[in-house]
Amino acid sequence: MEYNFDLEEIEPLVEMAIKEDIGGGDVTTDSLIPEWLAVRGEFLAKEPGIIAGLPVAQLAYQHINKKVSFLPKVEEGHKVLPGRAIAEVRGPARSILSGERTAVNFLQRLSGIATLTAQFVERVKGYPGKVYDTRKTVPGWRSLEKYAVRVGGGLNHRMGLYDQVLIKDNHLKALEATTQAMTKGVRLAREKAPQWMLIEVEAKTMEEVEEALAARPDIIMLDNMSLKDINRAVEMIRRAGLASPPLIEVSGGITLENVEDFAKTKADRISVGALTHSARALDIALEIKGSI
């Protein structure tokens, strides 16, 4: 699976994180540690999980001091057990210690997202629906957080407002569209958006599902509907007999505990905001092993 992302794109975020933490200097390290001292350390997983973010931690150390050597011990997406060394770091002790928190923050956050995503993916294995993320990301972290979702085996929904049309109730309210609202919205989108772009509409009731079907979008999102209504809606959409039937997405209130119930509806997409907005950081720590 392709996990790559643009390192240059996230360099400003890494630089900001370093400046935010080190500022004018690491007064503790600079007071205690001789400038000449070189050490070796290991980043260790303290609990089981999926590792993501090693290239980002490496980039952070490159920005702090190019004399620091950062050597990954596992591949991105590797499942680890507690005590596993995921990376080794060698070089000037001051730089290694000063960069510790920045590197760990990236590793913990991204590995936490990858781990949670993998848990969701595992719960729906064998069902047709695929797990997707949302735009509920930390500002500035979107490309990284969506990368971590891919590492965990999930798929990315639209990256932003610029690469897919998603017509929600507030768009239609702003248009003051009360009759044939979705049809009007889809028509306007097809006229003005790029022809290659997917058009998705949000439906919250069975009546809106009927209207969405008539509007002929590419995707119908069944948002915050009960499982009973989702099953009815899926059957209605599949039995409509359209030459190009819309994909069906379910969203809203989906957790690890109930995701399999949503998967049983045989929807095509299961979008889960919790992948990014509620992922718990994976416990990872740096341990200095000695001087070199």
Domains defined along the chain, listed by start: 7-119+279-291 (3.90.1170.20), 164-272 (3.20.20.70)
For 89, phi then psi, to 5°, come to -130, 135
- DSSP annotation of 73: S
Q: Which residue has the higher pLDDT, 7 or 217?
A: 217
Those residues whose C-beta lies under 8 Å from the C-beta of residue 195, and which sit 6 or more positions away, are none
Whether the pLDDT of residue 57 is over 80: the answer is: yes
Residue 115 near residue 282 (C-beta atoms within 8 A): yes
What is the structure's pLDDT at 3? 72
Specify the pairing of strand 284-291 against strand 38-45. antiparallel
Rounded CA-CA distance 245/217 in Å is 9
What is the structure's pLDDT at 254? 97
Q: Which residues are catalytic?
A: 101, 136, 168, 202, 223
Tell me what the mean pLDDT of segment 239-248 comes to: 92
Task: Tell me the pLDDT band of 261, cut-offs 50, 70 and 90.
Answer: very high
Q: Which helix (H) or strand (E) holds 29?
A: helix 27-32
Instruction: Give this prediction's pTM.
Output: 0.95
Rounded CA-CA distance 157/154 in Å is 10
Whether the pLDDT of residue 225 is over 90: the answer is: yes
What is the structure's pLDDT at 177? 61
The average confidence (pLDDT) of the chain is: 95
What is the structure's pLDDT at 181? 81
Helices 142-151 and 100-123 meet at what angle, rounded to 10?
50
Those residues whose C-beta lies under 8 Å from the C-beta of residue 17, and which sit 6 or more positions away, are 60, 102, 105, 106
190-200 residue pLDDT tens: 999 999 999 99
Q: Provide the 10 A C-beta neighbour count for residue 292.
A: 10
Q: Which residue has the higher pLDDT, 169 or 103?
A: 103
**DSSP per residue, 146-200:** HHHHHHTT-B---SSTTS-EEE-HHHHHHTT--SSHHHHHHHHHHHHS-TTS-EE
Whether the pLDDT of residue 4 is over 90: the answer is: no
The SS3 of residue 49 is strand
**DSSP per residue, 221-285:** EEES--HHHHHHHHHHHHTT--SSPPEEEEESS--TTTHHHHHTTT-SEEE-THHHHSPPPP-EE
What is the structure's pLDDT at 93? 98
Task: Tell me the pLDDT band of 202, cut-offs 50, 70 and 90.
Answer: very high
What is the structure's pLDDT at 173? 83
Whether the pLDDT of residue 94 is over 90: the answer is: yes
128-181 residue pLDDT tens: 999 999 999 999 999 999 999 999 999 999 999 999 999 998 888 887 765 678
High-pLDDT (> 70) share of the chain, %: 98
High-pLDDT (> 90) share of the chain, %: 89
CA angle 137, 140, 146 (to 5 degrees): 45
Whether the pLDDT of residue 1 is over 60: the answer is: no
Q: Locate 217 and state its tokens.
A: 């979008």
The SS3 of residue 138 is coil
